[in-house]
Amino acid sequence: MPSPRAPRPRVLVTRPEPEASAWVAQFTARGLDAVALPLIEIAAPRAMLAADVSAWPAEPNSPWRALMFVSGHAVQHFMASPDAAACLAHSRCWAPGPGTARALRAAGVPASQIDSPGAEARQFDSESLWQQVQGQVQAGDRVLIVRGVDAPAEAEAPLPPERAGSGSGREWLSQRVRDAGGTVAHRVVYERRPPAANPARQALARQAARDGSWWLFSSSEAIRHLQDWLPGQDWRAARALVTHPRIGEAAQSAGFGRIQATRPTLEDVAASIESSS
């Protein structure tokens, strides 16, 4: 008589809402045990950096060569700007991954106007994106990077620059544009906040630190927020699924005992979880 199959491990989805719940629903449909535990909240920025305000073209005859959107959230918040249509009219739209490309299409941008790494790309990041778009940039071209920023600790404080390393891929891409003779500006359209650490969430996180659950991390900020929730927590028994090497480095620094890399598609993440059963 065959032995009963061991239960599949639980996965905690740490993406912001509403993505976290959407991923949980799709994991559940595949028969996986999944729980949403968002470790980042996304909101409109409470202030704008002065440099960002001056980044817009002064006249219609000086369009952007491209607008690089760092995430689907960047697309959604940018589209709420009254200047969005004018900026998109004559610009390519760069997306580092399929989620951002889907958000652009959902916002009405034609697929023919979007550049993104191919579905077979090993990573969905700035480096893979540059392989697709480097031939577009010529001397004098202007590229706008549409991004978020970490929220300040104090509600009335101005938005800070990004933490060291948090935008390293974008800085790498910015340098490639400059090397090609172009210029780069940044537009902050949302802020990332740590979610409130209520007792129920903290209890779930402590349990998942030791019960064999998989933590799905799609950003290093989520790991930092988790550490802020549970200072001093021992993570040596915890398991992390990471969607980029830089996130793996953050998980290693936090002390996660097992770290497994996966491509950031739902199918690849689900396959990683299923293979670990």
Residue 157 has pLDDT above 80, yes or no: no
Q: What is the pLDDT of residues 167-198, one digit of tens each?
A: 577 889 999 999 999 999 999 899 988 898 88
DSSP letters of 48-114? Answer: --HHHHTTS-SSTTS--SEEEE-SHHHHHHHHTSTTHHHHHTT-EEE-SSHHHHHHHHHTT--GGGE
Fold of domain 43-193: Rossmann fold (3.40.50)
pLDDT digits (tens, 9 = 90+) for 201-234: 999 999 999 999 999 999 999 999 999 999 999 9
The C-alpha atoms of residue 259 and residue 263 are separated, in whole angstroms, by 13
Q: What is the pLDDT of residue 6?
A: 52
Residue range 246-257, pLDDT digits in tens: 999 999 999 999
Q: Say which CATH architecture domain 11-40+196-275 belongs to.
A: 3-Layer(aba) Sandwich (3.40)
Domain spans, the chain: 11-40+196-275, 43-193
**Average pLDDT of the residues in 87-104:** 92
Q: Is the pLDDT of residue 100 over 70?
A: yes
Fold equal for 11-40+196-275 and 43-193: yes
End-to-end Cα, the chain, rounded Å: 20
Give pLDDT, residue 62: 61
* Residue 274, both tokens: 């299923």
Is the pLDDT at 154 greater than 50? The verdict is: no
DSSP state of 140: T
Q: Which of 38, 68, 80, 92 is nearest to 147 (CA)?
A: 68
Q: Report phi then psi at 22, rounded to 5.
A: -65, -40
pLDDT of residue 54: 42
